[in-house]
Each structure stands twice: as structure tokens, then as C-alpha cells.
Structure 1
């Protein structure tokens, strides 16, 4: 029995069998986290650059969106990039509802209450923003969502293999290349 106790042949393989899965999970998990952090940094930089170039009179939003997708796809292969732009007259209008006469005091335009259709879409909106890049001097919120499958699948954690979405936004005021278009003043009534 003493001979077996003193025999240490094969101990290395047992130690490896115990430590290898832990090391593998830590290694792949670190690579996965690194890809996500780097992808987010690249996305933020590309969105800032695209927002700046889109704020110029000569800015082409299609080219800017493609530039974002090109830069992000190097880090996140197979990424699906979706972008939106919402324009406002000035910074104070971000998130503001169209003006209305809240006769019943419920905080919603309804029951035939009168409103001013400031954004010209023939309906009352809780957010006065208009979809698109706006015009001269308009404030634009540019938001990009990048959805991707993680490149490094962490072993023993299939719930971490699901698609992930990174989001980045930039706010810019367009250059004053022309006179700014005022909000509309058409009256309407809410349903």
C-alpha cells in the first residue's frame, strides 16, 4: 500500500483534467468579452464619425451608414446593422410632445382635444421628432443597433451563445447651410 501512496505517475493528467475546463471557460469567456467591448468601441467611433459627416450640407447618409457597417463588420462578422435618424428644430424639442389642449387633464391627446400638427404628419405625436436627417440647423439623433452572433462560444454556457445587440447614439446639430424650416401650425383634433 505504501508503494501506491508514493507513486505519483499519472497525477499530471488528473490535474489537467480538473483545470483544463476551467481554464478553457475563462479563456474563451475573456475572448468573447473582449470582442464585445472592442465591437462596442468601434461602433461608437463609427457612429460619431458618421454623425459628423451627415451634419454637413454635402453629407450623404447612405454613405455614412455604409461606413458604419463596414467598420463594425471587421470586428463582428455577420453583423446586422440598423440605423435611425430623428430630427428636431432644436435641443429643447428632443422628447417633447406636440402642443395640445389637454381639456380633460389626462396627459394624452384624446377625445377630440385640439392639437397643433408641428411635424406635419397629420396626427398628434408624443415625440415631435421627424424621421430622417432633417435640414439646416436641425438637431439630429443618430442611433445604430448592431446585432451579431458571438464569435467565441463560451463552453458549457449555451445561453451566452444567443444573438447580442449593441446600440450607439450620437446627437449633432446640422450645419447652417440654409434657412431652418419652422414647425408647422396646422390644427387638428385627437381621436
Structure 2
């Protein structure tokens, strides 16, 4: 008799059902907050990089001033880790982040020539051929900023994720023609 009454009694069913739903719902919301914060950091970083690159291409700012501008704009995220800022200049767009060899296969073969874009007097073994810094008039500048920051929600250790998040933004711009661009060096035969 008492067993039948208990089987038909549904007064506590709602609280049990809510217990099954609330945990996955909270986890989903926390993951969405964390993902949203990462997307916000990416958008702030990209906007900051584009403004900094524009300031640099005008030619009236020093590399230190540009770096300080970027650091001031992303200070909300970079309290623990400073942003990594990389600037490389190139003579032309086709050389951006490419090796120096003629056929761009990363190997300086006998009889092949290469253009020493960074003017260091040697072939750079297939690595990036740009000059460090902002370059000169009419040069192409490739900016990369990497920002590492702690996750917003301390959910990482439960999910097996890293406790930090990393976002990267880059852009390529041509410096203003405020002077004559340096001449591209002549091709050099491979050793």
C-alpha cells in the first residue's frame, strides 16, 4: 500500500530533473563565457595591431613608441604576460615571410641565385628574409603580435585544457613614400 503511494507521488520529480539539467547547463555557460572572452581579446588585439601599424607606416613614430602603444591597449589582458611584438620589413609584398631563394623551395641549389633582402651578406637557409624593424620609405612591414593571458574561467584543469590562452594577430602594410625606397640588392649565386 505504501509502495503504491510512493510510486505515484511525483512531487519531488522536478527537483531531480533540475539536478540533471543544471550541471551541464552551468558548464556550457562557463565554456561560452571563456570562449567569448577569448574572442573579445582577439578583436581587441586585431584592432590595436591595425591602429599601431597605421601609426608606424606614417613614419613619425619610433618602434619603441609603437610597442608602448600596443602594450597600453592590451594591458587588460597582459597583466601577467607581456605581448610579443614582431616587426619585419621587406622590399616587396612577394617577399613577406618567404625564404630568400629564387624558386622559394627553401634550398639554395648550385646554379640558383638568391636575393639578400635583409642585407646580412649570406643566404638564410630558407628562413624568413625580412629585416627586423619598421624598414624605410615604401617598404612592406609585416607586424605580428602574440598575446598570452590567463583564462577567464578556471575551468581548464577540469577539462584538461591549458590554464592560459594565446591569441595572435598580424597585418601587412606598406610604409608611406616619404623618401626614396632603397634599391633591392642584385641576385647572388648560391654557394
Give the TM-score band, short-chain normalised. Answer: 0.7 to 0.9
Aligned length: 186
Superposed CA deviations along residues 113-147 of structure 1, whole A, max 9, x for unmatched, are 77553422122033431111101110000011111
Cα separation, 2, equivalents of 1:107 and 1:72: 36
Task: Tell me the equivalent position of 1:35.
Answer: 37
Cα separation, 2, equivalents of 1:12 and 1:80: 49
Task: Tell me the equivalent position of 1:58.
Answer: 60
Task: Tell me the equivalent position of 2:76.
Answer: 74
Cα separation, 2, equivalents of 1:107 and 1:157: 43
Residues 113 and 187 in structure 2, CA contact (< 8 A), matched pair in contact too: no
Residues 154 and 161 in structure 1, CA contact (< 8 A), matched pair in contact too: no
Task: Tell me the equivalent position of 1:16.
Answer: 18
Residues 112 and 190 in structure 2, CA contact (< 8 A), matched pair in contact too: yes
Q: Which consecutive residues of structure 1, in runs of 5 or more, have no partner in the other structure?
A: none
Cα separation, 2, equivalents of 1:75 and 1:107: 37
TM-score by length of 1: 0.81
Task: Tell me the equivalent position of 1:120.
Answer: 119
Moved over 6 A (4+): 111-114
Cα separation, 2, equivalents of 1:37 and 1:86: 26
CA distance 1:155–1:165, shift in 2 (3 Å): closer
- The alignment's C-alpha RMSD in Å is 2.9
Cα separation, 1, equivalents of 2:172 and 2:64: 18
Q: Which segment drifts farther, 63-72 or 173-182?
A: 63-72
After TM superposition, give the deviation of residue 171 of structure 1 in Å: 0.8
Task: Tell me the equivalent position of 1:145.
Answer: 146
Q: Which consecutive residues of structure 2, in runs of 5 or more, have no partner in the other structure?
A: none
